[in-house]
Structure 1
Amino acid sequence: MRFYGRTAELRTLHELLDSCQTKNTCRLAVVTGRRRIGKTTLIEEAFRDCGVPYIYFFTSVGISENDFCARLIKAVSETLDIKFPPTLTDASDTFSYVLELAKSHAFVLAIDECQDAESRVPDFWSKLQKAWDLNKDGGKLLLVLSGSIQSTIERVFGSESSPLFGRADLFMVLQPFTTRETEAIFYEEFPAGQNEDLLTLYAVTGGVARYLAFFADWDALSSRRLLECIFSEKGSWYQAEGILLLSKEFRTSTSTYLTILQLVASGVSKRSELQDRLDVDISPYLQRLETNYRLIERTEPILQKKSNRNFRYKIKDPFFRYWFAFISQMSQQSYIERGLWAPARAHAAKMLPAFLGRTLEDWFIRRCLENPAWCEVGSWWDRKGENEIDLIAIDRACKRILIAEVKLNRDKYDEYRLRKKIDVFLEHHPELSAFDIAWRPLSIENMRDLI
């Protein structure tokens, strides 16, 4: 699949490179985001033909400080044609040498998966900070640090106690493609596709670039072909992706984290319900899953005060929602491990309609969030859960509200029932009664609408 989108990100990186050369000072850019989001591809696209030498350096897991220094000096010296580079074994001296070269050579150095260096290079971030502060002025280096463990990167650059706090000239967090971008990519790659195919693709990829490319490269963009690809030998990479990503994040108590995630994915959304199913105190696990790993999130009724306890947990990443629901289940793992693809596909196909119904709600919420006219977007439910509204979008500037019931099958839309729920909602929020309120069904036919 060719490179899509990221126009604003490319422009920003190019502008930062121009600044290095016009201001005669080194610049530091940080590019982060979940794994497979397209960080490396973006950096390669930005600097492959940028007019100055571009050096890509991958930080291998377990690399020693001596190896790190030797490999980095080799990569830089070969690209810049340095005939007799020094032999250095300290990261601080190595960074100082690279920054000294930047005073006579303009170039871009991208260090990928930089967070892996801190476990084997003593005081890695402090050594980089020391060299940077002493040598960046007068150079023309754009140093790009890319990392996938976002919590580590934000700790290093966002904490006041961190050596590199305040040093980044750019901190870019790559997000999945928007619904509009995913839609555009889908129909360009598969012009004959239908909305159901688009929804299924969104359900299994969440708009993550690498997953979209995987299915596009296998010509597996229809709903049928997607299931055939996932549950086959060629889908082994996708099948293993979930546990691989989780193993990169978790260090201890992996089984407890996985149990909680599996429960949340299956619809156990309240803290009390989760606690009832485990023998350990889940509070620290929930806190880390939400704050450190960002794998779950609290969802609250729209307009609810944050102090209220009326919230639910859900898997934050659409890919993990699918992976836990369709791949990590014991029955599916049994089929996959034995290569019994037909029953694995049949089981997934049976579960898919209910899953797509929930995915469609997420699609329309994201669709509204992408429209700047809507200042508040979300779902709503009362404390007892007796009245629930799938989508509410509020435009306070124009004093209008869109309220929608999302149904995979439009024939199941019940306008009378929705209007009764709206009455209950307005009883809780009488300040909105004067707004212009529009209600409607939203189904798979509306996926491409500009809402």
Structure 2
Amino acid sequence: MDFKGRADDLRLLNGQLSSVTAGIGGTRGRAVIVTGRRRVGKSRLVQEFCDRSGLPYVLFQATRGRNPAAERAEFVSAVTCSPFSGAELVSGFSATDWNQALRTASIAAGDDSPSVVVIDEVPWLVEQDSEFEGALQTIWDRHLSAKPVLLVLVGSDLSVMEALQTHGRPFFGRATKMTVRPLHLADVQEMTALPAAEAVDAQLVTGGFPEIVQSWEQGISRAEFFRKSFSNPLAPLLVAGELSLLGEFPESSRSRAVLEAIGSGERTYSAIAAQASSSGALPSGTLAPILNTLQNKRIVAADLPLSTNSDTKNKRYRIEDSYLRFWLACLERAIPLIERGRGDLAVKRVERSWTAWRGRAVEPLIRESLLRLLPDEQWAEVEAVGGWWNRQNNPEIDLVGADRAGVANAIRFVGSIKWLEERPFDRHDYDALARSVLAVPGTEMSTPLVAVSRSGAAADLPMAACWGPEDLVRAWR
């Protein structure tokens, strides 16, 4: 299958490789930690990078739960079978520890020509053998860093991969880090060949996960994509969510219950605590660590109202990637229908809740897109875009542009999001926004009003700006 998108990620990796080739830096070798959520396409990206480089490389992928001795033997075998100039020097070598196994890569790699060493699923190696990190540091410091080698360490467990860079850990300070995220909006539009507004829908449904985006036939509508996917219980749209969750959270775990509560639409701490337990609310001592873990894994995000006042206790939680949010809210309950051949009913149920679900789900994407467009000539001092709400959610402001995140010094604009087909942002929407603007701490009557609308805005409104679907896509190009 053709590789599409990921231009920025490939550029970052190529930049590291160029430093190795040009001999730039304190050491000849360079190390990169590549992390990101499961199923986001890290392994495919690194494989494509290696293939395009035209350089000799070895790519080793660990196996979870495997015997450490078998893993070391497999690593040595991968090095032996690689196109490295010195691969024959380690043929038949038997490694009794990771120091010896990793040493084979430094022996086989050339002294004069650049090469690439990839170790995939590093967290599983750390889990299997407590000596792996120390061995990696030793071999890197003594041998690999002195050669023109790009070492790429790949892993999906974000907490483990970030811990590799923690002060006091053996590999601290030896690698740069890049995070592979789902495909962005412009990539999704290119791959689906959809108009901008429909590409936004595709982004929300697929979350930018490559295997799901690739299953979206070019040019077909969202409704047709649902119909085709719901006629096949094995469609990527349906199975990727369960596989992703089972990989990290067993069905019986409290974390899974908390995720399902947030996915069903609960946003406040107390509401999540009540929804995630079948017998009374989850106690704070149970829920708080779970939420912290989910945020560390980049599965759940916690948003705070943006204004000139501090309000750190008024958090609103959400599932960070829109696909998992869609799967938990709409698809999980539809799967039993689909499995018994009633995909038609599943389509109707999802379509009934689609407009309401999308109206909330599109907000984080819009804010992130505006952050990529701003600051610009009109909004030269906007460095943060968020929302604002009080504890009663009355009012709840979709967009707040400020000079900085956290507690702002100045509010530069306040706005509303209206993401509806065939209805533009109109006078009624404008008046509702104008009535609410002074509720946001730091605003004045003269604070500019803006909108983001799927269907444009009425011509007679005194708006400072109105962004549409094409602007959102442009932000990612």
Using the alignment, how far apart are the partners of 1:440 and 1:243 within structure 2? 36
- Take 1:26 and 1:226, find their aligned partners in 2: how far apart are those partners? 46
Q: Please name the residue that 1:190 is paired with.
A: none
- 1:309-337 per-residue CA deviation (whole Å, 9 max, x = no partner) reads 222111111111111012222xx232133
> Structure 1 residue aligned with 2:288, among 260, 283, 286?
283
Alignment of 1:191-230 (within 5 A): 193-195=194-196, 197-216=198-217, 221-230=220-229
Instruction: Give the conservation status (yes or no) of the 8 Å contact 2:204–2:322.
Output: yes
Alignment check: 8 A CA contact 2:399 2:416 kept: yes
Query: How far apart, in 2, do the equivalents of 1:74 and 1:204 lie?
Result: 41
Cα distance in 1 for residues equivalent to 2:440 and 2:338: 49
Note if 1:375 corresponds to 2:383: yes
Deviations 1:249-306 (A, max 9, x none): 236x843222222221222111112223324322222222223x22212122222655
Alignment of 1:275-354 (within 5 A): 275-277=273-275, 278=277, 279=280, 280-281=282-283, 282-291=287-296, 293-303=297-307, 305-329=309-333, 332-354=334-356
Report the 3-state secondary structure (helix = DSSP H, G, I; strand = E; otherwise coil) of the residue aligned with 1:94: helix
Could you tell which deviates more after superposition, 4-13 or 122-131? 4-13
Asked if residue 33 in structure 1 is aligned to residue 40 in structure 2, the reply is no
- CA separation of 1:408/1:95 partners in 2, compared to 1, >3 Å: closer, same or farther? same
1:69 maps to 72
Q: Output one character per residue of 1:186-222: Cα deviation in whole Å (capped at 9) or x when no partner.
A: 32xxxxx445532331121122333212324xx5842
Q: Distance in 2 between matches of 1:138 and 1:73?
A: 20
Matched AA of 1:314: R
Structure having the larger proportion of residues in helix: 1
- Say whether residues 1:17 and 2:23 are aligned partners: no
AA partner of residue 71 (structure 1): E
1:183 aligns with 2:195: no
Q: TM-score, normalised by structure 2?
A: 0.82
CA distance in 1, matches of 2:16, 2:365: 34
Which SS does the other structure have where 1:378 is aligned? strand
SS state of the match for residue 266, structure 2? coil
More divergent stretch after superposition (223-232 vs 3-12): 3-12
Aligned-partner Cα distance in 2 for 1:82–1:165: 32
Residues 378 and 393 of structure 1 are in contact (CA less than 8 Å); yes or no, is this contact kept in structure 2? yes
Specify whether residues 93 and 361 from structure 1 end up closer, same or farther in structure 2 by C-alpha distance, changes over 3 A only: same
Match of 2:453 in 1: 442
Q: State whether residues 212 and 236 of structure 2, in contact with CA within 8 Å, keep that contact through their aligned partners in structure 1.
A: no
CA contact (8 A) 2:367 2:386 kept: yes
* Deviation digits for residues 15-64 of structure 1 (CA, Å, limit 9, x no counterpart): 32233344372221111111222222222222214242122211122222
The alignment's TM-score, normalised by the length of structure 1, stands at: 0.87
Which residue of structure 1 aligns with residue 437 of structure 2?
425
Comparing 399-408 with 342-351, greater Cα deviation is found at: 399-408
* Shift in CA distance, 254/296, structure 1 to aligned 2, threshold 3 Å: farther
Amino acid at match of 2:336: S
Distance 1:308 1:399 in 2: 18
**2:138 is the counterpart of 1:130:** yes
Aligned-partner Cα distance in 1 for 2:442–2:331: 45
Helix, strand or coil: the match of 1:3?
coil
CA distance in 2, matches of 1:386, 1:399: 19
Residue 204 of structure 1 aligns with an amino acid whose one-letter code is V
TM-aligned CA distance change 1:283 to 1:122, over 3 Å: closer
Structure 2 unaligned blocks of 5 or more: 376-381, 457-467
Q: What are the residue-to-residue correspondences of 1:109-124 with 2, within 5 Å?
A: 109-124=117-132
Q: 2:321 and 2:435 mapped to 1: Cα distance?
A: 33
| Residue of structure 2 in register with 1:166 after alignment | 173
Taking the aligned partners of 1:267 and 1:120, their CA distance within structure 2 comes to 38
CA distance in 1, matches of 2:322, 2:125: 30
Counterpart residue identity of residue 32, structure 1: T
Deviation at residue 230 of structure 1 after TM alignment: 2.5
Q: CA deviation at 1:147?
A: 0.9
Equivalent pair of 2:307/2:402 in contact (CA under 8 Å): no
**2:315, 2:387 → 1: CA distance?**
11
Q: Is the 1:195–1:444 contact (alpha carbons within 8 Å) kept by the matching residues of 2?
A: no
Stretches of structure 1 lacking an aligned partner (at least 5 in a row): 188-192
- Cα–Cα, structure 1 residues 195 and 131, in superposed 2: closer, same or farther, change >3 Å? closer
Report how far residue 153 of structure 1 moved: 0.5
Deviation at 1:421? 3.8
Contact persistence 1:92–1:131 (CA under 8 A):
yes
User: 3-state DSSP class of the match of 2:164?
Assistant: helix
Paired residue for 1:87, among 94, 100, 114?
94
- Tell me how far 1:166 sits from its aligned partner: 1.0
- 1:4 maps to 4
- Name whichever of 222-231 and 193-202 sits farther off: 193-202
Structure 2 CA distance for aligned equivalents of residues 197 and 19 of structure 1: 40
Q: Hey, what's the Cα distance between the residues in 1 that align with 2:142 and 2:317? A: 47
State the distance in 1 between where 2:323 and 2:227 align. Answer: 17
| Aligned mates of 1:12, 1:261 — CA distance in 2 | 33
Indicate the SS of the match to 2:470.
coil
- The 8 Å contact of residues 376 and 395 in structure 1, kept in 2 or not, is answered as yes
For 1:74 and 1:405, the matched residues in 2 are separated by 56
